[in-house]
Amino acid sequence: MNVLDLVRPDLRDFGGYGSARKTGLSGRIWLNANESPWASPADPGQGLNRYPEPQPAALRARLAALYGVSEDTLLMTRGSDEGIDLLTRALCRAEREAILVSPPVFGMYAVSARVQGAPVVEVPLVDEGDRFRFDVDAALRALELSVAKAPIKLVYVCSPGNPTGAAVPLGEVERLLQGAAGRAVVVVDEAYAEYSAQASALTLRSRYPNLVVLRTLSKAYALAGARLGITMADPALIRVLAAIAPPYPLASPAVALALDAVAPSAADEAQRRAGRIVAERERVERVLRARRVVRAVYASDANYLLVRFIDADAAFRALLRAGVVVRDQRAAPGLGDALRITIGTAEENDAMLAALDALDAPLSSLAAPQGAVARPA
């Protein structure tokens, strides 16, 4: 299968904008980009009066080594959000091709599609009580049914899921790839993969040209403010995405930070910190499960927990009173009683639990019959 067959016909040979840094020219005096010849007084010596490389070679090489892929399969973007947007624009024409999402899920997939005018097909996750499951069979049925209307060209799989925390088993991802071959690109968003014990979908990349994997430096690598995402796909698709991307997507200071963040010693530290987060996640999960105010805690492969509360509004307000901000999920489909709680430091997590303890105590005393002893929280 040639993945270019799934790309918009008008973009398959599109060359994009020929920026000053794409010419491949070298020289001593640069007079081709209308830049200031002087550095800004605010410039800390980074040469910010000059446009940056569109895809910095040193960083691309380091990221390719980190993820075990070849450099021609990798595109760096302003966070994964830009990768999502580029994929939607490359594969979907307004009202003619659709995307598939599985709510409750990260909202930017649908936002990018709406902006592009692409229909959004929803195949909800299956709530199994302690974990959410991606329904591969339902997704494949939706692919079949979409052919007569707006064919689905992009299938988004968030693994681990946001906000659910559940990773999609690799065997299910492969089954989806096989069923979508020749019809759709499957995008596996692995923003939280460093917190999961499951193998990456990148292990399937060489066998499935219709697979795209998204990663980010915003989470485990602690560079959310630098905005650097990574899209990995078939080289032909990467060339299309690079052609329609803005000419200078990556700011020089962000690139310098990223180079240091993925250097071997820093990458090792990122993995150690991810391990500490996993240990804290397991501890917080155990404590929350024992709380009377908690209805359910979902098993998570990410750096957060999705928690259902007896009274989610009271829990949300109690946390805010204590200065603890969590993500209110009550507007998401099927999550009218849920909050998403990011795992922080042990001290931050203890402060969050203490705020819920204050809510748990009166509920415990009210629940105990007169003369009985309330169960310890």
Helix-strand-coil split of the chain, %, nearest 5: 40, 15, 45
Ordered by start, the domain boundaries in the chain are: 3-12+48-262, 266-360
Encoded tokens for 263: 């250097």
Burial of 238 (0-12, 13-18, 19+ CB in 10 A): buried
Quote the pTM value: 0.93
Q: Which CATH number fits domain 3-12+48-262: 1.10.10.410, 3.40.50.300, 3.40.640.10, 3.30.365.10?
A: 3.40.640.10
Q: Write the class of the CATH domain 266-360.
A: alpha beta
Instruction: For residue 206, give the 3-state DSSP assignment.
Output: helix
Task: Please say whether the beta carbons of 212 and 187 come within 8 A.
Answer: yes
pLDDT for res 361: 66
Encoded tokens for 162: 């946001």
Q: pLDDT digit of tens for each residue in the chain (377 aa)?
A: 799 999 999 999 999 888 777 777 888 998 999 999 999 999 988 899 999 999 999 999 999 999 999 999 999 999 999 999 999 999 999 999 999 999 999 999 999 999 999 999 999 999 999 999 999 999 999 999 998 889 999 999 999 999 999 999 999 999 999 999 999 999 999 999 999 999 999 999 999 999 999 999 999 999 999 999 999 999 999 999 999 999 999 999 999 999 999 999 999 999 999 999 999 999 999 999 999 999 999 999 999 999 999 999 999 999 999 999 999 999 999 999 999 999 999 999 999 999 999 887 655 444 434 433 333 33
